[in-house]
């Protein structure tokens, strides 16, 4: 693979998170020569709640069982740290894992498919040319016909490749880990906690892991200065000792604006690097898996000579993901303008709880949910637009 001192590949993937590893695995399986780089040494932790919805898991053609620590069928839901109630579903809603385990496993699956992987390999320079891309890392020079930016919201690839987007909407989150005392461990064995209405544009959560829980709060970016205090309040509500929290960390979630470029020539962005996050839930792993698959499909067409660029990827993302994300924005606007009625509906309406579970499980899409409103759809769209006016993000 080395010619004239340069390592040669079909595709270089920069970032080994769920999106990057998915793209690398599928491309390698198709016969492409793939290199995946990540600046961190693996396994490494990543700021993230670590929940993989059944919808997200269904997107993969590999078994996540080796890294699943909890299977969730219940949710404790509260409104502004009061009035907690439980709702349950007979089938799994989500799998709980840790990003250190999930990402290492997905990278391993990419390697088994034939991809080369270098961790602890920060990218120092990227040169984009019409026919190829040059990447330099740890003193080595790599050349590829295509490149995928998968290094997250704060990665270097998007800027280096000229994808300079300043999204109108961005979210922030602050989270930590906590050890559960033996007496209350069973409380969270198969349940998560969600607190609505406290954080503008977001919520508080508790996600159980094998030997601890992840607890956090998130919402619109302007809420950032309040998140530490909000996390303390959530801990008190859920009977956790804030003084014993570990691994406190915050992170940004830029959200892609419709039409913002994420592909050009022989380069593209996936996952968080492309701002592909569900606005209502703040969840990005499903979009990571989908965008990784779509990136692989577009690059395979490019490598085979069927197309001259990767713009088809952006169109596919708009079709499969952005249409869903735009409806999610509408639901989020209504939900957070009227949190108490929204939570009451989840509490007392089996139909709406079932729809919520259908969305989480991937048995129902946002666009299908909107279409099912029938004549009420026009009222919903008008209400969502009115609710979105003046929302500070």
User: Is 39 a member of any domain?
Assistant: yes
User: Is 393 a member of any domain?
Assistant: no
Q: Is 157 in the same domain as 177?
A: no
Of 200, 175, 190, 168, which is closest to residue 86 (Cα–Cα)? Answer: 190
In the listed set 255, 276, 298, which residue is the last one of a domain according to the structure? 255
The answer to whether the CB of 231 falls within 8 A of the CB of 217 is: yes
Q: Is 263 in the same domain as 222?
A: no
Q: What is the CATH number of the domain that holds 212?
A: 3.30.9
Q: Is 146 in the same domain as 213?
A: no
Q: Is 319 in the same domain as 263?
A: yes
Of 167, 368, 324, 386, which is closest to residue 259 (Cα–Cα)? Answer: 167
Number of domains composing the chain: 3
Helix (H) or strand (E) holding 28: helix 18-29
pLDDT of res. 390: 57
In the listed set 303, 324, 345, which residue is the last one of a domain according to the structure? 324
- pTM to 2 decimal places: 0.93
Q: Is 172 in the same domain as 217?
A: yes
Low-confidence ranges of the chain (pLDDT < 70): 1-5, 182-185, 390-393
The answer to whether the CB of 148 falls within 8 A of the CB of 110 is: no
Instruction: In whole angstroms, give the CA distance from residue 190 to residue 93.
Output: 10
Q: Quote the domain boundaries for residue 110.
A: 2-47+99-166+256-324
Instruction: In whole angstroms, give the CA distance from residue 136 to residue 2.
Output: 14
User: Is 361 a member of any domain?
Assistant: yes
Instruction: In whole angstroms, give the CA distance from residue 180 to residue 7.
Output: 48
In the listed set 255, 281, 296, which residue is the last one of a domain according to the structure? 255
Q: Is 187 in the same domain as 248?
A: yes
Q: Is 247 in the same domain as 182?
A: yes
Q: What are phi and psi of 149, to 5 degrees?
A: -90, 110
């Amino acid at each position: 693979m080395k010619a004239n001192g340069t390592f040669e590949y079909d595709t270089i993937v920069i970032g080994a998170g769920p999106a990057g590893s998915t793209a690398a695995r599928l491309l390698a399986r198709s016969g492409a020569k793939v290199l995946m780089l990540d600046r961190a040494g693996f396994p490494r932790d990543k700021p993230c709640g670590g929940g993989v919805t059944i919808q997200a898991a269904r997107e993969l053609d590999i078994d996540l069982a080796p890294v699943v620590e909890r299977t969730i069928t219940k949710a404790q839901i509260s409104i502004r740290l009061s009035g907690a109630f439980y709702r349950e579903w007979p089938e799994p809603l989500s799998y709980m894992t840790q990003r250190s385990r999930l990402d290492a496993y997905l990278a391993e699956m990419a390697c088994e498919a034939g991809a080369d992987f270098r961790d602890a390999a920060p990218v120092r320079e990227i040169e984009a040319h019409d026919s190829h891309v040059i990447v330099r890392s740890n003193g080595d020079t790599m050349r590829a016909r295509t490149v995928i930016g998968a290094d997250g919201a704060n990665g270097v690839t998007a800027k280096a490749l000229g994808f300079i987007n300043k999204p109108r909407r961005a979210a922030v989150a602050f989270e930590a880990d906590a050890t559960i005392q033996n007496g209350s461990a069973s409380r969270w064995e198969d349940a998560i906690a969600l607190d609505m209405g406290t954080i503008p544009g977001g919520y508080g959560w508790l996600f159980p892991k094998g030997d601890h829980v992840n607890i956090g709060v998130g919402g619109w970016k302007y809420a950032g200065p309040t998140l530490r205090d909000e996390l303390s309040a959530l801990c008190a509500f859920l009977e956790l000792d804030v003084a014993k929290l570990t691994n406190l960390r915050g992170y940004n979630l830029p959200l892609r604006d419709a039409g913002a470029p994420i592909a050009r020539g022989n380069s593209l962005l996936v996952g968080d690097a492309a701002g592909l996050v569900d606005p209502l839930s703040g969840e990005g792993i499903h979009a990571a898996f989908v965008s990784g698959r779509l990136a692989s499909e577009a690059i395979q067409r490019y490598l085979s000579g069927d197309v001259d660029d990767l713009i088809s990827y952006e169109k596919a993302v708009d079709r499969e993901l952005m249409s869903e994300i735009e409806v999610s924005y509408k639901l989020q606007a209504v939900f957070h303008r009227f949190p108490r009625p929204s939570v009451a509906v989840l509490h007392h309406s089996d139909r709406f709880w079932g729809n919520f579970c259908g969305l989480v499980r991937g048995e129902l899409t946002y666009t299908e949910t909107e279409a099912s409103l029938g004549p009420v759809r026009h009222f919903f769209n008008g209400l969502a637009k009115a609710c979105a006016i003046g929302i500070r993000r």
